Chain A
Amino acid sequence: MKRKSPSKSLSKGASVSRRVFTAGLGAVGFTAGIAPFNIVRAQGAALKVGVLLPRSGFQAGIGQDCQRGVDIAAGLLKDMGLPNLQIMNADTETNVDVARSRAEKLIGEGAQVLVGAFDSGQSSAIAQVAEQKGIPYVINIAAAPPITEQGYKFVFRNFPTGGMILGGAFAAQKEIFASVGAAPKTAVFLHVNDTFGTSMAGGIGAVMPKFDMPYKIVETISYDPAARDLSVEISKAKATGADALLMVSRLNDAILLTREMVKQRWSPMAIMSMGPGWYEDQYLKTLGKLSDGPLSFVPWYDPNKPLSKTLEAALAKSSPGVSLNTNHVYTFEALLIAADAYKRAGSADPKALADAIRATNITNNVSPGPGIQFDAKGQNDKLKISGIQNRGGKLLTVAPKEAANAKAEWPLTPYDKRA
């Protein structure tokens, strides 16, 4: 087959025929015609959010619980009139190295905002990558203060720092004492001797004197969280004659301790926990009526806020039998922050998104406090710590007053007086 010489073809094409002109005009018109639709589509494109959670490794249970907050977010955010999010999940494997490489991977795949990662070490590793790449990062849960003390411009945390948690817990305790008109004069402090327990014990020792608490700690007893028998610890605690039991524990030991208190017929005036265990679903289900009464002081949600009710309903639908908790609330709010910022920024440009996040002022939220706002360091310093009490298999918020849906039951109903 004989081919046309290119030079001939070009020279022929140099003169524009009426047909070519019309076709060209049509093409220009078509392009111009659909351009507005392209713009609309760009504005309506989903924001790519990389969610990093420890869904395997020793924090797998918590990571998977946080994931429930992610899974219900899409529908809720849509109902709120916020832009769509394209969730890109990544498992950090409870490992700092993996958290860092997964953050790099998500950014490489086009993530425009990062969210996660439950743990301070992993969050810190991700924060460095986010800052280096200039991609906004919203921390859902991590309490180590230094993360937001590094002068980062792209890192935001909607979770209280360790100091805020302890301070807020003591403030909530005082509020409860004032509302019931009674307070313990002495307390015995039991805590697990793992990393978390030791850290909390140190923090309580440092923060408590600043709050002029009505009780003093008469004895501190530490124990192994893996212990199968805590009878000696409860005997020692009972022998102190303290009015209240101050706790930092995990789930299994909380159940063991409660059973031991029942066995040894010891019912203090109050059980005040400053950690997990005493409010968890498994604790309530395992102990039934014996689970009633303990007070837990934790970053929680405000049950009176309309969005909390919506979130509760959505979780009940997607995960029946699972109660709304810290993991769901703060993971959902991290996504809420991203979607809200994207809507206001009108663009997925990282700098515009970071500026929009910095200017966040969400009052229709879930966590206790005036809403979600960030200080100059990227920390939401307005968050409140709640006092929650187990009552009839449910968790009622008894402090702070503005986020309470019940008054504290005081003192603890003795275990031998329960039907």
Chain B
Amino acid sequence: MFSRLFENVSRRALVLLGALLIGLFGAPLVASDYLLTVLILILYFAYIGQAWNIMMGFAGQLSLGHALYVGLGAYTAAALYVHFGIGPWIGLLVAVPVAGLAGAFIGYLAFRFKVGGVYFAILTIAVAEFARVGFDHLTWTKGSSGLFLPVAQYTRNDLWLLRGQPVMFYYILLVAAALAFVFCRALLQSRIGYFWLAIREDEEAARSAGIDTFRYKMIAVVISSAMTSFAGVIYAFYYNNLFPEQVFHISRSIEIILGPIVGGVGTLFGPIIGAFLLTGMSETLIAALHALGIDIPGAKQVFYGFCLLLVIAALPDGIWPWLSRRIGLSEREK
């Protein structure tokens, strides 16, 4: 199994991957606090983009409501911590099944009744919006007034309760993003991965070939939603406040999918490249404008729009397939 992870991976790719990991591992030693915050955001979006990619990139099911699973993970773990003092890792054991069940519910509704394509996407938005309105009225999680986690001045990092400095969250997200990468690679190399790709390319043909498309699409939805909920737990304990309007909002779902789309849907490096490019370059753009004494509110959104336009027009498969060819890496590794 382990050896299959490296099948068709060139030595150059391994060296580059190793260099990237070493660079990211050592980054907090040289990064300023601000840069560390930006890197945390990049890793957060890289991880969550990887989770979304399972559903859309591998199995071909477009979800525009992934903020639902972030919110469910965040609220479940945060509420358990606030009300019962249950730590986030135990909370995760509840949050993951809750999000997985929500994903299974949506998947069952859609796939059993043959809701596909844009209609499936609308269904995912609808359920996320339903959750947003519902959490606005849920008094147990403080409704629209917001759920606040108690915070204090932390002199040391408490990994068990996720209370501490940003650097702790950085390493958690780095490990999570790396594991998600390996996990997705393993999935793609497995029987399930091949079935997903078959479904993505032509569902009718896959069914004709004997693939239980309902089952494998359900697996994709459940894995993707469960993985996404972990990001929600980290989000809750990093920001320490949750508002339904912010967590479940459709703009959050769009933020999640931008990285993989720009980086390359269905590729393993796409979500990572996309997260680095969008978050990293937009911050660089803001810094450059600032250095020139130019203050343009909304410049980042304009940049996002420009990137999307550029990718759609020039690189419809995303940046990674093009980049991997340019740097001489095998296309087959995606």
Residue positions of A touching B, CB distance < 8 A? 55-57, 60, 63-64, 89, 91, 93, 95-98, 100-101, 104-105, 107-108, 120-121, 124-125, 128, 131-133, 144, 146-147, 150-151, 153, 162, 195-196, 198-199, 202
**Contact B41–A195 (Cβ < 8 Å):** no
Given contacts A60-B297, A108-B33, A195-B243, 4 further A-B contacts (CB under 8 A): A125-B240, A131-B153, A133-B33, A146-B146
Contact A63 B297 (CB under 8 A): yes
| Chain B residues closer than 8 Å to A57, beta-carbon distance | 298, 301
- Whether B148 sits at the interface, judged by CB under 8 Å, is yes
A195 touches B33 (CB 8 A): no
Residues of B within 8 Å of A63, CB to CB, are 297
Complex: A16 Cα to B145 Cα, angstroms: 75
Bound together, the chains give a CA A195 to CA B287 distance in angstroms of 33
User: Are B239 and A55 in contact (CB-based, < 8 A)?
Assistant: no
B297 and A64 form a contact (CB under 8 A): yes
Q: B34 near A: Cβ within 8 Å? A: yes
Q: Give A65 Cβ to nearest chain B Cβ, in Å.
A: 13
* Chain B minimum-CB-distance residue to A144: B146
Instruction: Pick the interface stretch among B52-60, B110-118, B136-144, B310-318.
Output: B136-144
Complex contact B148–A195 (CB within 8 A): no
B300 engages A120 (CB within 8 Å): no
**Which residues of chain B have a CB within 8 Å of any CB of chain A?**
32-34, 36-38, 41, 136-137, 139, 143-146, 148, 150-154, 165, 239-241, 243-246, 283, 287, 295, 297-298, 300-301
Show 6 residue pairs from A and B whose CB-CB distance is below 8 angstroms, ordered by the A residue. A101-B283, A121-B243, A124-B240, A125-B240, A144-B241, A202-B143
Contact check, A199 vs B143: say whether CB atoms are below 8 A apart: yes
**Quick check: B240 and A128 within 8 Å, CB to CB?**
yes
Q: A151-B152, A199-B143 are in contact. Are A121 and B300 (CB under 8 A)?
A: no
Contact partner, A198, options B38, B136, B243, Cβ 8 Å: B136
Pick the residue among B36, B150, B297 that contacts A56 (CB under 8 A): B297
- The one of A128, A162, A195 that contacts B136, using a Cβ cutoff of 8 Å: A195
Bound: A153/B245 CA distance, A: 29
How far is it, in angstroms, between the C-alpha of A162 and the C-alpha of B243 when the chains are bound? 15
Contacts of A128 in B (CB 8 A): 151, 239-240
Contact A108 B297, CB 8 Å, known A120-B243, A150-B150: no
The listed residue (A91, A96, A100, A144) touching B148 by CB distance below 8 A is A144
- How many Å from the CB of B328 to the closest CB on chain A? 35
In order of increasing CB-CB distance, the 9 nearest A-B pairs are: A56-B298, A55-B297, A146-B148, A199-B144, A195-B144, A104-B34, A56-B297, A124-B241, A101-B37
Check if B33 sits within 8 Å of A93, measured CB to CB: no
| Cα-based distance from A162 to B165 in the complex (angstroms) | 30
Known: A101-B34, A125-B239. A56 touches B301 (CB 8 A): yes
What is the CA–CA distance of A124 and B246 in the complex, to the nearest angstrom?
13
Tell me the bound Cα distance from A187 to B297 in angstroms. Answer: 43
Cross-interface CB contact of A93 among B139, B241, B300, cutoff 8 Å: B300
CA distance A144 to B146 in the complex (A): 8
Q: In whole angstroms, how far apart are the Cα atoms of A124 and B137 in the complex?
A: 21
Measured CA separation A96–B38 after assembly (Å): 13
User: Are B239 and A101 closer than 8 Å at their CB atoms?
Assistant: no
Check A93/B136 contact, CB under 8 A, given A107-B33, A144-B145, A196-B144: no
Which DSSP category, helix, strand, loop or mixed, fits chain A's interface? helix
| Complex CA distance for A349 and B244, rounded to whole angstroms | 38
Provide the bound-state CA to CA distance between A89 and B146, in Å: 27
Mostly, the B contact residues are helix
B residues less than 8 Å from A104 (CB atoms):
33-34, 36-37
Q: A104-B37, A108-B32 are in contact. Are A124 and B148 (CB under 8 A)?
A: yes
A108 — which chain B residues lie within 8 A by C-beta? 32-34
In the bound complex, CA of A87 to CA of B245 (Å): 30
In the complex, chain B residues whose CB is within 8 Å of the CB of A60: 297-298
* Chain B residues whose CB sits within 8 angstroms of the CB of A144 once the complex forms: 145-146, 148, 241
Query: B287 to chain A: which residues have CB within 8 Å?
Result: 105
Task: Please name the residue on chain A nearest to B300 by beta carbon.
Answer: A93
Once bound together, how far apart are the Cα atoms of A17 and B23, in whole Å? Answer: 56
CA distance A160 to B38 in the complex (A): 32
CB distance from A106 to the nearest CB of B (A): 9
A97 contact from B41, B150, B240, Cβ within 8 A: B41
Contact A198 B241 (CB under 8 A): no
**Chain B contacts for A196, CB-based, 8 A:** 144
- Tell me the bound Cα distance from A124 to B241 in angstroms: 7
- B144 adjacent to A121 (CB under 8 Å): no
- Is there contact, CB below 8 Å, between B33 and A100? no
Q: Are A89 and B295 in contact (CB under 8 A)?
A: yes
Minimal beta-carbon separation of A249 from chain B (angstroms) = 16
A108 to B166 alpha-carbon distance, docked (Å) = 15
Give CA–CA (A177, B152) in the complex, Å: 45
Known: A100-B37, A108-B33, A108-B34. A121 touches B136 (CB 8 A): no
B297 touches A91 (CB 8 A): yes
B246: which A residues are within 8 A, CB to CB? 95-96, 121
Contact B38 A101 (CB under 8 A): yes
A200–B136 CA distance with the chains assembled, in angstroms: 12
Q: Hey, which chain A residues are within 8 Å of B165, CB to CB? A: 132
Least Cβ–Cβ distance between B27 and chain A, in angstroms: 15
Contact of B245 among A89, A91, A147, A195 (CB under 8 A): A195
Distance of A133 Cα from B165 Cα, bound (Å): 11
Given contacts A56-B297, A104-B37, A108-B32, contact A198 B153 (CB under 8 A): no
Partner of A125, one of B32, B36, B41, B241: B241
Q: Taking CB as reference atom, which chain A residue is nearest B132? A: A195
Write out the residue numbers on chain A whose beta carbons fall within 8 Å of the beta carbon of B243.
Answer: 120-121, 195
User: Are A198 and B143 in contact, with the CB atoms below 8 A?
Assistant: yes
B239 to chain A, nearest CB (A): 5
Check A120 against B146 for contact (C-beta < 8 Å).
yes
Contact A100-B144, Cβ < 8 Å, known A56-B301, A132-B153? no
> How near does chain B come to A64, taking the closest CB pair, in angstroms?
7
Cα of A57 to Cα of B150 in the assembled complex, Å: 28
Query: Once the chains are docked, how many angstroms separate the CA of A56 from the CA of B297?
Result: 5
Distance of A150 Cα from B146 Cα, bound (Å): 14
CA distance A181 to B73 in the complex (A): 54
Bound Cα distance A107, B166 (Å): 15
Q: Within 8 Å CB of A93, what residues of B?
A: 297-298, 300-301
User: Could you say which residues of chain B place their CB within 8 Å of the CB of A105?
Assistant: 34, 37, 287
B32 neighbours in A (Cβ, 8 Å): 108
**Are A199 and B295 touching (Cβ within 8 A)?**
no
Measured CB to CB, the nearest residue on chain B to A149 is B148
Least CB distance, B140 to chain A, in whole angstroms: 13
* Chain B residue contacts of A56, Cβ below 8 A: 297-298, 300-301
> A202 to chain B: closest CB distance in Å?
7
Give the CA-CA distance A63 to B243 in the complex, in Å. 19
Cβ contacts under 8 Å, A125 to chain B: 239-241
Q: Which residue of B lies closest to A197 (CB)?
A: B144
What's the minimum C-beta distance from A293 to chain B, rounded to whole angstroms?
A: 30
